[in-house]
């Protein structure tokens, strides 16, 4: 089973910090204009969100794994709710590689696999090195095309 | 290229003339009145100018809207300012629906809607064309699809037979026989009206009350007085009532509201499902229903993703059920989906199951229930609600403001434990030869049948609590849009080993059944079902009491409840036992 690139933790922790900052800003605004909350409470809020976010990011990284198996792409992910997903190649409609601005900064990329399903409509594998992402995307595309020929849906 | 029917154009042009004319009128009023930019006479210029512009636009739109069905494609060109040219391959069309309102029925018109699996809105809508042409379009789409399969099998046939035999077979196939699968009887329609719940009904009653306020209040007063309450009910007098009188008024008001909503809901159901019938034509299912607004449509069998059996509490009590087939065509939440994909709105359970089994060529067994230890989860999960509420109230009572009887939510505990138990009891799944069946729901028990070759992705999920108890939930994702509303086929809270087996089976069977399907395995047993139906012309569908006819065909028997020890639940073509 393949794991993600460790740098993706930085991405997730960064997101948690941003969320914490936004919440703190809201708390400060509430404190200033609505009911008095107090600086210790705001500081505690910021700390708690940041810590929880960091722990979650680390656990999520530890959990995230995927494997290109014979007939399907298999993924294992999730912290609170663990989700194992099998995406049969014959069901893959198309594949994308995507890089958001922060991902680009960190030097990572994601692969998105699209199916006709509803719950599993787009499956995203984040935190891959760009070369690996392109490689994976093309590998999946080839596997999907091959399965189409042999299984004739 | 064809245009829409001129009569519908007249209506539209008139509509536009009036609306743009009105815009002109109001613009003139604003500019000459409050804004005082133009003399009052401006209104008499702007309004007619608006009307003329509206008419011109309406006419232009009519002339710009063209459609054509040819060479495997439906092309629709529309738009005056932003032109749109849409091309839909016929093989991608999921459902073809025909709607006719009362006026359209009088004028011999129909609105045709084509649905594909992509996008959320209806892909192509022809509003309106003549009814005969609508029916022709429907058949053309269906026969194109049949023609496709014919060409494929036709070439292999000629290897075995002489040329004439093969051509004969082909011409035979190009004239599809229409066979009645099901008809909704009057009794069943009335029963359906009584047991169905239309969310629109209570909402309408609520909004309608202000309009019929006097009548409603008078009705309430009279009934309350008749029951021994105060002589007159009105909002001003409310504070003067004793607790008993208030309670009485409240109960009577609630009862009348429920009754009104129920009657209205029944009326909606009757107008929607009047004359419901389901036919098997070629490779399609065709339905027709409706009293005032007529709905009809075709559902290609090859586009059916899942087959769903629904039984709400009332239906179960009296042995009824409803059947729906799901395609990839509709947007989630769109009202048309529920009704347009109905195969049987209501009938006795045996009939519904028989058609479900015919549609999937399977025998629906008893479901494998959930492990006993998962029941705890449900009891706990549901009990949390009153416990949390009580805790919050206790906290508020202690710290902020005193709340009398803060512990009352605890009284709900027995109810929530019961709800948890019932939810657990009503969940189950089964793995058949070619089908995955999943059941859940107490108020509306839903059994979803997913042929393995329709499975898209397989998803296992485990929450923290499930992990502690070594449980997991396994979902077979499909392309049917119902999944988005939480209507997917899931085996809930099964033990880890079963989950693993289930996940692997779904994956493996998906591949093997897809391969088998391309070599042509039987996807449904509708031919036998339709034959049974035609053998007994009096009752529609296989008669409930006479399962002999069905069982002699060997199809519609349901095996007895599985033995508890029979874990490897590959049921299906087990020995048919007594019906």
- CA-nearest residue to B481 within chain A is A118
Under DSSP, the state recorded for B331 is: P
pLDDT of residue B577: 37
Q: Is A80 close to B464, i.e. CB distance below 8 A?
A: yes
Structure confidence at residue A83 as a pLDDT band (50, 70, 90): very high
Lookup: tokens for B109: 């018109």
Question: Which residue in B446, B565, B568 sits closest to B504, CA to CA?
Answer: B568
CB distance A82 to B459 below 8 Å: no
Specify whether the CB–CB gap between B191 and B207 falls below 8 A: no
pLDDT of residue B562: 33
Contacts of B394 (CB under 8 A, 6+ apart): B406, B407
Q: Is the pLDDT of residue A149 over 70?
A: no
Kindly report the number of other CB atoms within 10 A of residue B352's CB atom: 24
Question: Under an 8 A CB cutoff, do B480 and A118 touch?
Answer: yes
Q: Which of A88, A123, A152 sits opposite B518 (nearest CB)?
A: A152
Task: Return d(Cα B223, Cα B205) in angstroms, integer.
Answer: 18
Residue A12 has pLDDT above 60, yes or no: yes
3-state SS, residue B471? strand
Print pLDDT tens along chain B (579 aa).
888 998 888 888 998 888 888 888 888 888 777 777 777 777 788 888 888 988 999 999 999 999 998 888 888 898 888 888 888 888 888 788 899 999 899 999 999 998 877 666 677 889 889 999 998 998 888 888 777 544 444 334 444 444 444 444 444 445 678 888 888 999 999 988 888 878 888 888 888 888 877 787 888 888 877 777 776 767 677 677 777 777 888 888 888 888 989 999 999 999 989 999 999 988 888 899 999 989 888 888 888 888 999 998 888 888 899 998 888 766 544 555 556 677 888 888 898 999 998 888 888 887 878 888 888 888 888 888 888 888 888 888 887 777 777 778 888 888 888 999 999 999 999 998 889 999 998 888 999 999 999 999 999 999 988 898 899 999 999 887 665 555 789 999 999 999 999 999 999 999 998 888 877 777 788 887 877 666 554 444 443 333 333 333 333 333 333 333 333 333 333 333 333
B514 touches chain A (CB under 8 A): yes
What is residue B120's predicted lDDT score, i.e. its pLDDT?
60
CB B300 within 8 A of CB B65: no
The owner of tokens 């994308």 is: A96
Residue-level length of chain B? 579
Q: Is B151 strand, coil or helix? A: helix
Residues in Cβ contact with A72 at an 8 Å cutoff, skipping those fewer than 6 apart: A86, A87, A88, A89, B507
Mutate to test the interface with A, among B457, B511, B512, B516 (most CBs of A within 10 A): B457
Is B265 within 8 Å of B196 (Cβ atoms)?
Answer: yes
pLDDT at res. A57: 94
What is residue B578's predicted lDDT score, i.e. its pLDDT? 35
> Distance of CA B151 to CAs A1, B154, B303, B552, Å?
45, 5, 20, 35
Contact A118 B460 (CB under 8 A): no
| DSSP secondary structure string for all residues of A29-96 | HHHHHSS---HHHHHHHHHHHHHHHHHHHHHHHHH-EEEE-SSEEEEEE-SSSEEEEEEEGGGEEEEE
Q: Please list every residue in chain A whose beta carbon sits closer than 8 Å to the beta carbon of residue B503.
A: 84, 86
pLDDT at B195: 82
Q: Would an 8 Å CB–CB cutoff place B477 in contact with chain A?
A: yes
Which pLDDT does position B159 carry in this prediction?
A: 41
Contacts of A151 in chain B (CB under 8 A): 511, 514-515, 518
Reported as type and span, the H/E element at residue A150 is helix A130-151
Cα distances from B311 to residues A9, B133, B431, in angstroms, run: 48, 38, 21
Identify the CA nearest to B471 among candidates B354, B383, B362, B381: B381
**What are the two backbone dihedrals, phi and then psi, of residue B61, each rounded to the nearest 5 degrees?**
-60, -45
The pLDDT value given to residue A58:
95
Q: Is B109 helix (H, G, I), strand (E, B) or coil?
A: strand
DSSP state of B177: P
Using the structure block, give the residue that is written with the tokens 């309408």. B204
Residues of A within 8 A of B484 (CB-CB) are 118-119
Say if B456 is an interface residue toward chain A (CB within 8 Å).
Answer: yes
CB atoms within 10 A of CB B347: 27
Give which of B293, B302, B294, B309 is closest to B343, Cα–Cα: B309
**Cα–Cα distance for residue pair B44/B21, rounded to 1 Å:** 11
All residues at 6 or more sequence positions from B28 whose CB lies less than 8 Å from its CB, including other chains: B38, B42, B43, B44, B45, B46, B47
Task: Tell me how crowded residue B404 is: count the other CB atoms within 10 A of its CB.
Answer: 7
Contact A151 B461 (CB under 8 A): no
**Which residues are B100's β-sheet partners?**
B294
ipTM score here? Answer: 0.88
Which residues have a Cβ under 8 Å from the Cβ of B19 and sit 6 or more positions away? B54
- Render B6-53 in DSSP notation, one character per residue: HHHHHHHHHHHHHHHHHHHHHHHHHHHTTS--S-TTHHHHHHHHHHHH
């Amino acid at each position: 089973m393949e794991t993600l690139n460790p740098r993706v933790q930085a991405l997730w922790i960064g997101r948690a910090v941003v969320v914490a900052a936004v919440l703190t800003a809201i708390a400060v605004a509430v404190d200033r204009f609505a009911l008095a909350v107090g600086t210790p409470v705001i500081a505690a809020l910021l700390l708690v969100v940041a810590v929880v976010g960091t722990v979650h990011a680390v656990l999520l990284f530890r959990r995230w794994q995927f494997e290109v198996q014979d007939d399907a792409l298999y993924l294992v992910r999730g912290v609170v709710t663990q989700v194992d997903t099998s995406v049969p190649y014959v069901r893959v409609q198309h594949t994308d590689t995507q890089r958001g601005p922060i991902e680009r900064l960190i030097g990572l990329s994601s692969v998105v696999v699209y199916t006709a399903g509803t719950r599993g409509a787009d499956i995203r594998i984040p935190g891959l090195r760009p070369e690996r992402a392109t490689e994976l995307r093309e590998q999946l595309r080839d596997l999907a095309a091959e399965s189409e020929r042999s299984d004739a849906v | 290229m064809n245009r829409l029917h001129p009569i519908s154009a007249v209506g539209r042009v008139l509509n536009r003339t009036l609306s743009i004319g009105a815009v002109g009128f109001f613009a003139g009023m604003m500019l000459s009145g409050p804004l005082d930019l133009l003399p009052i006479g401006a209104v008499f210029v702007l309004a007619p100018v608006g009307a003329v512009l509206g008419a011109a636009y309406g006419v232009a739109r009519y002339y710009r809207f063209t459609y054509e069905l040819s060479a495997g494609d439906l092309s629709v060109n529309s738009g005056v300012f932003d032109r749109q040219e849409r091309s839909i391959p016929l093989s991608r069309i999921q459902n073809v629906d025909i709607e006719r309102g009362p006026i359209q029925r009088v004028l011999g018109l129909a609105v045709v809607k084509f649905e594909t699996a992509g996008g959320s809105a209806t892909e192509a809508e022809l509003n309106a064309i003549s009814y005969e042409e609508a029916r022709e379009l429907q058949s053309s789409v269906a026969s194109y699809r049949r023609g496709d399969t014919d060409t494929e099998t036709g070439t292999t046939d000629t290897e075995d037979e002489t040329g004439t035999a093969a051509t004969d077979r082909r011409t035979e196939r190009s004239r599809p026989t229409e066979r009645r699968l099901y008809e909704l009887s009057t009794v069943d329609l009335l029963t359906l009206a009584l047991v169905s719940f239309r969310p629109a009904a209570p909402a309408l009653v609520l909004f309608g009350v202000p309009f019929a306020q006097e009548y409603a209040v008078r009705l309430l007063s009279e009934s309350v007085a008749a029951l021994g309450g105060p002589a007159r009910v009105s909002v001003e007098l409310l504070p003067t009532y004793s607790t008993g009188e208030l309670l009485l008024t409240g109960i009577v008001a609630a009862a009348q509201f429920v009754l009104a909503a129920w009657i209205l809901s029944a009326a909606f159901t009757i107008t929607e499902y009047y004359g419901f019938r389901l036919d098997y034509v070629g490779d399609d299912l065709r339905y027709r229903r409706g009293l005032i607004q007529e709905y009809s449509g075709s559902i290609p069998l090859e586009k059916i993703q899942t087959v769903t059996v629904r039984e709400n509490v009332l239906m179960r009590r009296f042995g009824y059920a409803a059947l729906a087939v799901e395609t990839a065509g509709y947007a989630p939440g769109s009202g048309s989906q529920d009704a347009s994909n109905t195969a049987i709105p209501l009938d006795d359970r045996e009939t519904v199951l028989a058609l479900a089994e015919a549609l999937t060529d399977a025998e629906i067994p008893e479901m494998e229930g959930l492990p006993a230890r998962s029941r705890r989860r449900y009891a706990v999960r549901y009990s949390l609600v009153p416990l949390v509420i009580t805790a919050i109230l206790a906290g508020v009572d202690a710290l902020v403001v005193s709340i009398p009887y803060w512990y009352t939510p605890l009284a709900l505990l027995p109810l929530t434990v019961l709800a948890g138990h019932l939810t657990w009891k009503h969940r189950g799944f089964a793995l058949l030869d070619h089908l995955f069946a999943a059941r859940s729901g107490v108020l509306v028990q839903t059994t979803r049948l997913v042929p393995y070759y329709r499975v898209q992705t397989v998803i296992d999920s485990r929450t923290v609590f499930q992990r502690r108890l070594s449980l997991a939930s396994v979902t077979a994702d499909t392309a049917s849009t119902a999944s988005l509303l939480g209507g997917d086929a899931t085996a809930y809270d099964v033990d880890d080993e079963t989950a693993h087996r289930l996940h692997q089976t779904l994956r493996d069977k998906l591949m093997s059944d897809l391969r088998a399907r391309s070599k042509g395995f039987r996807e449904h047993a509708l031919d036998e079902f339709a034959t049974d139906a035609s053998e007994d012309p009096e009752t529609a569908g296989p008669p409930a009491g006479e399962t002999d006819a069905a069982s002699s065909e060997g199809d519609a028997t349901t095996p007895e409840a599985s033995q508890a020890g029979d874990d490897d639940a590959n049921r299906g073509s087990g020995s048919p036992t007594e019906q």
